[in-house]
């Protein structure tokens, strides 16, 4: 009995040792795994980036100047950019139009190289990077601004300060350098339009104001001597006199022994032959330094200018009912009312050359210059009547129906001109579909929205749409929306035009607590950001698409 009890105690002791060892090594491995995970996080070169961050409490304050965070690791400064929420407000004032721009710019970086003997060297290197900008204009005065957009910040710079009151309709070219403002003239009861081009101001550098062209010897007299005295007195190392005659502010026009000494000091300072004479080499060095000073003065003046851009343009004929800009940003097409109906004219932004390519007795048209060779013309939509859409060749002016007429029809044509996203009234309800021009197939889509709430990406693959939460008036669209009788809480969706897959990107009211009724929308060429205007406030917003 004692032997069995002793055996049981030994077995229990052995089991305790085994469990203790397993517990110890298990904890150790767990800690080791944690260290590895934390180490991997620390090795991520740009810090931790939060994906899909939401902030339901105060998204309205996310609009501008969100700071980048900087941390210090192992004695080195590491820039950590923490991404803000995807949905951000850009303006806090009514905005009439915008253009998303991707700009290639130079950036200086520190590059580490290893030479043949294994020594590391840090050299500065210039690389090209793409940065996102959006250019937009205020409704109340047509002032143009530009914001640089990063995942963590939104800037704001003045582009041009204009004054055209109440420009409700503003159309920017894709590169943002051309713009058309439209406003209602109350006195004449007419639509007025202004077409402008935006260009960078040139920095004006004045020539050196001093005359160094003549030789100077002892007792030489004249303005050229005075100029030399003033110039040499700018540098204490070449100053002619501390006080009295030829001191700074009291320069004379006669060369003295001190003048010759100052010339020698200048020559010594710049490794020239020290002979006290204004020979060709000395004069060339004086001019070189003077030109550098003029360059610096010009740069300081330019830096202090409020706006670095100029707007140039002219007013267009009155009563232009619709206008669109070519994809290459060089021309625009407008429809102008006349006594017989409307005339369609293409005009160049720079040369102002014009070409009439369209005439119609019907005055209710909308235009979309979707492709370099094509302008889509569609009749203004109503649920009560059939709508028509025509494809027009920009060179010949020839046009034909793009698809059959439908009630409440509006269209959004792809940039490659092969597909049409449509909105129509079918079976007493608003219906969206995708029409393929190449095979004449029309595919219904499982969502209900307006074409004005959608945009194609530049590759003609995806359509991004803001979709209303409900449509209460059944078939009375788009009239109800145009008349402002109904407002919506939009969510953001994506349509794949190849597979017809429809998926939600963001339930904006639920995720962000924002009520947005989008009515103008655009996208940059890389599909990094969507830009859009809220119909309720006319504020400009952005949604970051990268890293979805």
Q: The domain spanning residue 368 has which CATH number?
A: 2.130.10.10
> Is 197 within 8 Å of 349 (Cβ atoms)?
yes
Does 544 fall in a domain?
Answer: no
405 and 494 in a single domain? The answer is yes
Does 370 fall in a domain?
Answer: yes
**Integer angstrom CA distances of residue 336 from 25, 389, 459, 470:** 83, 19, 32, 37
pLDDT in tens, 249-290: 999 999 999 999 999 999 999 999 999 999 999 999 999 999
> Can you give the pLDDT of all 548 residues of the chain as single tens digits?
444 555 655 556 556 555 555 544 444 343 433 332 232 222 222 223 332 333 333 344 444 443 333 333 333 344 456 888 999 999 999 999 999 999 998 888 888 878 777 778 888 888 889 999 999 999 999 999 999 999 999 999 999 998 899 998 999 999 999 999 999 988 888 899 999 999 998 899 999 999 999 999 999 999 999 999 999 999 999 999 999 999 999 999 999 999 999 999 999 999 999 999 999 999 999 999 999 999 999 999 988 888 889 999 999 999 999 999 999 999 999 999 988 899 999 999 999 999 999 999 999 999 999 999 999 999 998 999 999 999 999 999 999 999 999 999 999 999 999 999 999 999 889 999 999 999 999 999 999 999 999 999 999 999 999 999 999 998 899 999 889 899 999 999 999 999 999 999 999 999 999 999 999 999 999 999 999 999 999 999 999 999 87
CA distance 246 to 248: 6
385 and 494 in a single domain? The answer is yes
Predicted pLDDT of residue 18: 58
Q: Provide the CA 259 distance to its chain's centre, in angstroms.
A: 56
CB atoms within 10 A of CB 404: 12
Taking alpha carbons only, the member of 313, 54, 272, 81 closest to residue 177 is 313
Does 346 fall in a domain?
Answer: yes
381 and 401 in a single domain? The answer is yes
CB-based burial, 456-491: b 16+ in 10 Å, e otherwise: bbbebbbbbbbbbeebeeebbbbebbeeeeeebbbb
412 and 512 in a single domain? The answer is yes
**Integer angstrom CA distances of residue 462 from 66, 415, 499:** 30, 11, 10
Taking alpha carbons only, the member of 517, 450, 516, 446 closest to residue 477 is 450
Query: Domain containing 425: what range?
Result: 364-516
C-alpha count within 13 angstroms, C-beta hemisphere, residue 38: 6
**Residue at which a domain ends, from 257, 281, 303:** 303
Helix axes 223-232, 280-303, angle to 10 degrees: 60
Predicted pLDDT of residue 30: 39
Taking alpha carbons only, the member of 493, 492, 488, 480 closest to residue 517 is 488
287 and 371 in a single domain? The answer is no
Does 63 fall in a domain?
Answer: no
CA distance 162 to 125: 39
Name residues whose C-beta falls within 8 Å of residue 294's C-beta, 6 or more positions apart in sequence. Answer: 205, 206, 207, 208
334 and 294 in a single domain? The answer is no
CA distance 366 to 354: 20
**Residue at which a domain ends, from 303, 325, 351:** 303
pTM, two decimals, is 0.76
375 and 505 in a single domain? The answer is yes
Predicted pLDDT of residue 5: 58
Taking alpha carbons only, the member of 423, 376, 386 closest to residue 407 is 386
C-alpha count within 13 angstroms, C-beta hemisphere, residue 253: 5
> Could you give the angle at the alpha carbon of 412 between the alpha carbons of 409 and 417, nearest 5°?
125
Helix axes 257-269, 223-232, angle to 10 degrees: 50
343 and 355 in a single domain? The answer is yes
505 and 378 in a single domain? The answer is yes
Does 210 fall in a domain?
Answer: no
C-alpha count within 13 angstroms, C-beta hemisphere, residue 326: 17
174 and 242 in a single domain? The answer is no
Q: What is the largest CA-CA distance in the chain?
A: 132
388 and 433 in a single domain? The answer is yes
> Is 434 within 8 Å of 495 (Cβ atoms)?
yes
N-terminal to C-terminal alpha carbon distance within the chain: 72
240 and 229 in a single domain? The answer is yes
Does 81 fall in a domain?
Answer: no
Predicted pLDDT of residue 275: 93
How many domains is the chain partitioned into structurally?
A: 3
**Residue at which a domain ends, from 345, 363, 381:** 363
Does 340 fall in a domain?
Answer: yes
> Could you give the angle at the alpha carbon of 383 between the alpha carbons of 381 and 388, nearest 5°?
40
Predicted pLDDT of residue 212: 94
pLDDT in tens, 318-334: 999 999 999 999 999 99
Name residues whose C-beta falls within 8 Å of residue 407's C-beta, 6 or more positions apart in sequence. Answer: 383, 384, 385, 386, 387, 424, 425
Does 459 fall in a domain?
Answer: yes
Taking alpha carbons only, the member of 2, 74, 65, 101 closest to residue 529 is 101
């Amino acid at each position: 009995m004692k032997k069995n009890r002793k055996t049981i105690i030994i077995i229990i002791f052995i089991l305790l040792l085994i469990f203790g060892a397993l517990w110890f090594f298990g904890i150790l491995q767990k800690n080791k795994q944690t260290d590895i995970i934390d180490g991997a996080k620390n090795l991520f070169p740009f810090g931790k980036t939060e994906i899909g961050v939401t902030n339901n409490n105060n998204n309205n304050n996310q609009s501008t100047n969100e700071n980048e965070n900087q941390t210090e690791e192992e004695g080195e400064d590491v820039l950590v950019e923490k991404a803000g929420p995807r949905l951000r407000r850009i303006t806090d004032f009514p905005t009439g139009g915008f253009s998303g721009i991707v700009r290639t710019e130079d950036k200086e970086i520190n590059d580490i190289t290893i030479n043949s003997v294994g020594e590391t060297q840090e050299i500065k290197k210039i690389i090209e990077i793409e940065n996102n900008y959006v250019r937009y204009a205020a409704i109340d005065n047509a002032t143009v601004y530009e914001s640089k957009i990063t995942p963590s910040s939104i800037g704001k710079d003045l582009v041009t300060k204009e004054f055209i009151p109440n420009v409700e309709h503003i159309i920017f070219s894709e590169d943002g350098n051309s713009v058309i403002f439209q406003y209602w003239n109350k006195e004449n009861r007419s639509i007025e339009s202004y077409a402008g081009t935006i260009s960078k101001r040139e920095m004006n550098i004045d020539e050196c104001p001093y005359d160094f062209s003549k030789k100077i010897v002892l007792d030489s007299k004249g303005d050229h001597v005075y100029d030399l005295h003033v110039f040499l007195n700018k540098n204490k190392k070449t100053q002619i006199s501390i006080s009295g005659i030829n001191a700074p502010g009291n320069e004379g026009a006669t060369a003295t022994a001190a003048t010759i000494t100052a010339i020698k000091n200048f020559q010594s300072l710049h490794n020239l032959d020290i002979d006290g004479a204004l020979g060709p080499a000395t004069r060339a060095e004086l001019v070189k330094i003077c030109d550098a000073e003029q360059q610096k003065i010009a740069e300081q003046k330019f830096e202090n200018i409020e706006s670095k851009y100029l707007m140039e343009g002219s007013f267009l004929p009155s009563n232009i009912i619709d206008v669109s800009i070519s994809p290459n940003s060089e021309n625009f097409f407008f429809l102008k009312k006349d006594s017989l109906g409307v005339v369609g004219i293409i005009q160049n932004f720079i040369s102002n050359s014009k070409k009439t390519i369209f005439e119609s007795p019907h005055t209710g048209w909308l235009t979309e210059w979707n492709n370099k060779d094509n302008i889509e013309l569609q009749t203004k939509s109503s649920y009560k009547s059939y709508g028509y859409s025509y494809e027009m060749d920009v060179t010949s002016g020839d046009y034909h129906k793009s698809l059959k007429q439908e009630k409440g029809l509006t269209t959004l044509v792809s940039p490659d001109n092969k597909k049409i996203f449509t909105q129509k009234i079918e079976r007493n309800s608003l219906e969206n579909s995708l029409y393929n021009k190449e095979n004449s197939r029309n595919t219904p889509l499982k969502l209900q929205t307006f074409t004005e709430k959608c945009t194609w990406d530049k590759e003609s693959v995806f359509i991004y749409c803001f979709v209303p939460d409900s449509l209460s008036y059944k078939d009375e669209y788009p009239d109800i929306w145009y008349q402002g009788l109904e407002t919506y809480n939009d969510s953001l969706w994506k349509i794949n035009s190849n597979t017809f897959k429809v998926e939600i990107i963001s339930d904006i009211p639920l995720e962000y607590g924002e009520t947005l009724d989008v009515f103008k929308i655009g996208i940059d060429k890389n599909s990094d950001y969507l830009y859009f205007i809220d119909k309720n406030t006319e504020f400009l917003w952005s949604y970051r698409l990268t890293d979805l």
